[in-house]
């Protein structure tokens, strides 16, 4: 009952309350992003949601548009400023996703929405992560965030998709607050954010 009915209602009510209470914080953040990084203030990107339905996810911009001589965007590590790092470490860049929750694209708790390009790379087990709405936070985010491997993240995502409950959501939300305050696992040791998923590694050797 919680999974199919109550969870969505709770998400809507909490998102509406959060947007009202956090509107001053969002306004100040928007002004700072505009002054530090320029326009647009919001970063919009298409992501797959529940049942792989595509939606536009919103975040506060945390990178510049710096490009090389050929017009290609520079690596994340070169475009991520100190201000952008602070936005990410405090998770303030995620606040516009409250609108996604209000619309029903996302939930407060669920697997993080990843890139559309990854859809073709998932195996059958990994695809189970799309049985539920993607979340503002999730089981993988409170167990290492970007510092975990892709295999670990997908295992957490699939476990959550198959064990959704009110108690699990509460535990994840409480642990999210602790993780954000501690600023744990913001970056992967091999990249400024998270290394790209390149598919499942298969051993072709006999």
Query: Model confidence over 141-187: pLDDT tens digits?
Result: 998 766 788 999 999 999 999 999 999 999 999 999 888 877 665 55
Strands (E), the chain: 42-48, 54-60, 107-109, 135-137
Place of tokens 């510092």: 147
Instruction: Say how many Å lie between the first and final Cα of the chain, rounded.
Output: 48
Alpha helices in 38-130 (DSSP H): 76-79, 82-90, 97-103
Under 8 Å between Cβ of 179 and 88: no
Dist. CA 159–CA 123, nearest whole Å: 15
Query: What is the pLDDT, as a whole number, of residue 178?
Result: 87
Query: What is the pLDDT, as a whole number, of residue 74?
Result: 80
Query: Which pTM does this prediction carry?
Result: 0.86
Query: Model confidence over 29-59: pLDDT tens digits?
Result: 999 999 999 889 999 999 999 999 999 999 9
Query: Model confidence over 56-108: pLDDT tens digits?
Result: 999 999 988 878 777 787 877 778 889 998 998 888 999 999 999 999 999 99
Alpha helices in 38-149 (DSSP H): 76-79, 82-90, 97-103
β pairing state of 135-137 and 107-109: parallel
3-state secondary structure (DSSP) of residue 196: coil
* Nearest residue to 137 via CA among 103, 178, 198, 192: 178
> Six-digit token pair at 154?
């997908």
β pairing state of 54-60 and 42-48: antiparallel
> Six-digit token pair at 134?
């993607």
């Amino acid at each position: 009952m919680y999974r199919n009915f109550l969870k969505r209602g709770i998400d809507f009510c909490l998102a509406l309350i959060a947007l009202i209470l956090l509107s001053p914080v969002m306004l100040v953040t928007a002004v700072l992003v505009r002054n530090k990084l320029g326009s647009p203030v919001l970063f919009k990107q298409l992501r797959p949601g529940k049942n792989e339905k595509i939606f536009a996810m919103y975040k506060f911009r945390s990178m510049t548009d710096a490009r090389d001589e050929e017009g290609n965007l520079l690596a994340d590590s070169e475009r991520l400023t100190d201000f952008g790092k602070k936005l990410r470490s405090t998770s303030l860049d995620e606040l516009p996703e409250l609108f996604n929750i209000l619309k029903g694209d996302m939930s407060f708790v669920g697997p993080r929405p990843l890139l559309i390009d990854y859809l073709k790379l998932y195996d059958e087990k990994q695809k189970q992560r799309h049985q539920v709405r993607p979340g503002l936070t999730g089981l993988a985010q409170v167990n290492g965030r970007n510092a975990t491997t892709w295999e670990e993240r997908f295992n957490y995502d699939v476990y959550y998709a198959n064990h959704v409950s009110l108690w699990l959501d509460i535990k994840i939300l409480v642990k999210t607050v602790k993780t954000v305050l501690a600023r744990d696992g913001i970056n992967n040791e091999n990249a400024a954010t998270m290394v790209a998923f390149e598919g499942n590694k298969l051993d072709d050797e006999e």
